[in-house]
């Protein structure tokens, strides 16, 4: 992967890209979002986004209903679940509103130096949990900040997979669904995610956010079957792992 020493990271240009389907039945569809593609429409009406591209794909199969219940950041790759059934849309939505779905992410981070002698780095542990409150701020850019009062509770569990030369590969399981939650909690743990130009200012810089939504585990809202759907780490993610 090309490393950028200066200037903003440019998201890849995506034109009419076919969205890869990981699982599909008559009620729901789970797809693999590439890094750089927004989950839904942005202020730029000409910019492609997953919801539109997937909707166009489904129309070619004479299916015209699609509902988006959760999103991934533009730079994050991986699994997104959408409803295909208007009659079962509510039960599918409840997977998220009632926290009946377990989402697992993987990211590549780098140890951050301690700011004070008495400050501990959570990421030195094999497993840890961050439980705090996050509040959305609009300036200078839309981002989340840890606050002592107000905001919304955010909880993430972490498991270190391996580490070498100051770099870490980590699993993250968000128990709540706040904007940028894993990114902020990784930073608070002392291992900011590589390629995160909003929360990680340290070099080296990469062309993408190295965060991937790897698995979804849930009980199918119609068949009641226990499901676990996984997504392979994309080539650019694996390339960075090998290079580190």
Which residues have a catalytic role annotated?
73
Cβ–Cβ < 8 Å for 49, 31: no
- For tokens 């939504």, name the residue: 213
Query: Around Cβ 109, how many Cβ atoms within 10 Å?
Result: 27
CA distance 153 to 99: 14
Tell me if residue 226 falls in helix, strand or coil.
strand
Please measure the distance between the N-terminal and C-terminal CA atoms of the chain and give it in whole angstroms: 11
DSSP 37: -
CA distance 115 to 74: 30
Q: What angle do CA 133, 73, 41 make, to 5 degrees?
A: 120
């Amino acid at each position: 992967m090309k490393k950028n020493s200066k200037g903003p990271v440019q998201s890849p240009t995506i034109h009419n890209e076919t969205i890869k389907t990981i699982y599909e039945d008559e009620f729901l569809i789970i797809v693999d979002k590439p890094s750089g593609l927004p989950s839904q429409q942005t202020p730029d009406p000409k910019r492609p986004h997953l919801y539109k591209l997937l909707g166009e794909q489904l129309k070619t199969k004479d299916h015209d209903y699609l509902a988006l219940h959760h999103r991934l950041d533009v730079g994050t790759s991986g699994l997104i679940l959408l409803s295909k059934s208007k009659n079962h849309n509510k039960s599918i939505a409840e997977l998220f509103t009632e926290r009946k779905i377990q989402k697992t992410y993987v990211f590549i981070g780098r140890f951050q130096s301690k700011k004070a002698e008495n400050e501990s780095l959570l990421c030195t542990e094999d497993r840890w949990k961050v439980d705090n409150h996050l509040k959305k701020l609009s300036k200078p850019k839309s981002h989340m900040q840890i606050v002592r009062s107000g905001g919304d509770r955010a909880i993430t569990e972490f498991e270190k997979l391996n580490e070498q030369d100051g770099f870490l590969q980590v699993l993250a399981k968000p128990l709540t669904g706040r904007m940028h939650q894993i990114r902020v909690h990784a930073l608070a743990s002392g291992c900011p995610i590589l390629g995160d130009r909003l929360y990680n200012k340290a070099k080296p810089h990469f062309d993408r956010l190295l965060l991937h939504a790897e698995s979804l585990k849930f009980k199918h809202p119609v068949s009641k079957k226990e499901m676990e759907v996984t997504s392979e780490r994309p080539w650019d993610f694996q390339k960075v792992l090998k290079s580190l």
